[in-house]
Amino acid sequence: MSETILLKSVDISIPGYRILRPLGEGGMASVFLATQESLDREIALKVMAPALAANSEFTERFIKEGKITAKLSHPNLVTVYDIGSHGTVYYLAAEYIPGGTLREKINDGLSIAETLDIVCDVARGLHFAHQKGFVHRDVKPGNILFKLDGTAVLADFGIAKAMDSKSGATMAGSSIGTPDYMSPEQARAEQVDGRSDLYSLGAMFYEMLTGEAPYQASDPFTVALMHVTQPIPELPAELAWLQPLIEGLMAKVPDNRFETGEAFIEAVGQTLAASPQASTIQQQRASRTRAGGERLSGSSTTRTVMLDRSGGLPKWLIPVGAAGVLLAGAVGWWATRGGDTTPAPTASTTAPTPSTGTPPTAVVLTRPEDLPPEVQVPSPVDARENDIEYSLTQAEAYKEFGLHKEKGRKLLFPEDDSAVFHYRKALAIEPGNERAMEGLREITEFFLKNANTLCERRLWSACVTTAQEGLKVDPENKALIDLLANAEQQARGG
């Protein structure tokens, strides 16, 4: 069975698909919500404009889009199910993404937390595509779609090309892409690689933050020229702490940009670690499932502990005397380099994912009696020792999470449940405890290193804030005191 519709005065009938309604129309194709009858599922059916079907260049590009996208299976990229032609009609059946486009969200206004979630999602999708050898070349708000859980998905690989291709553009002497988000090398019709997509991501990031494209002119040619000749746009003063991210994406020379999407995501974590806005933004970041992540319950009585399928406890839980208490309050995090983690609103600790063997299984525990039979909960022997061990284990888990997983998280905030809080709690019980003193030293060094980096980049206000955070850990650290004094002087005008 097929459905016949009228598109631009041409009857279109595609066997195996029942078209439900139009979703949108562009210069090259129209998109419909349809049912794929063989599997009885809703899909987005992209149909090439009939006037272009006679042009072999456009039909080849259309078919290429489907073949490229079909190779790129990733949560932040649209999935293609089928591609083909029927008579003079060329079509592509893809995953239906019902949550609208980024263009609509920009028009409605985005918070910083939402913006960071979205750009990191897109960066993940780009990183995967680039690893597979493809550059998108048209990253723009209209090509970013949203799943119902809020995950951003990159669509439309219609002008993508293999990164080992020698030509700079599909048609000789022309550049392909959207001028508002076009990299300098793309505007010059030069050969491009994945860093061109990251430049486009930066231009889009700037617009998400400010509501305006980075360069504006009366015609597209002038806009493209401005990407080549004009300096990197500056964010408003209240957003200046995010300027290093914009600069790392929109550097005019590709070698000066972030090398990969993954490198950009790491820089986002480092920026949050060095900013006073971090704790508020982290609390606001969207609670949704992500690639490599797991939605965590917000319940105060249910926590997740990561256990190896073999039944072994994570190493960070083994030495705890009061294990029953800790297990009842611990949260295992699906924190990986390639993904993001949604924080539970209460205390958490980091369970490292095993580097070898079977992936961990999430086991939900609510009471000590819910523990698996192989897990023996030891009885408290010495309350003082148990309290110290508990505090140190909790502190070290938070420290590892904040230094190596999500930079800056759980180091100082919240004040009553952070790495610094638990280290000081251990020192209150046992002054001079070496593990606690070493942990505080590592956290101090983290803030000192970030503050130095910010001062070197002449981001004086951010340097001041970061140095102040470090002094909350070690108020007598001379290097931080000197750095703060210099940064404050520079922030006042030298």
Residues 214 and 206: their CA atoms lie apart, in Å, by: 6
67 three-state secondary structure: helix
Residue 138 annotated to the active site: yes
Bridge partners of 263, per DSSP, are none
What is the gyration radius of the CA atoms in the chain, in angstroms? 26
Would you call 161 helix, strand, or coil by DSSP? strand
CA 408 to CA 472: how far, in whole Å? Answer: 14
Given 138, 156, 387, 474, which residue is catalytic? Answer: 138
* Sequential DSSP letters for 209-252: HHSS-SS--SSHHHHHHHHHHSPPPPPPGGGGGGHHHHHHHH-S
Coil vs helix vs strand at 173: coil
Query: Hey, CA dihedral for 469, 472, 476, 477, is it positive or negative?
Result: negative
- Give the burial class of 453: count Cβ atoms within 10 A of its Cβ; 0-12 exposed, 13-18 middle, 19 or more buried: middle
**d(C-alpha 245, C-alpha 462), whole Å:** 13
Give the dihedral sign, CA 155/203/337/240: negative
Please tell me whether residue 77 adopts helix, strand or coil conformation: strand
Torsion of CA 84, 88, 94, 99, to 10 degrees: 180
DSSP string, 113-140: HHHHHHHHHHHHHHHHHHHTTEE-S---
Give CA–CA dist 175/37, Å, rounded.
39
Active site members: 138
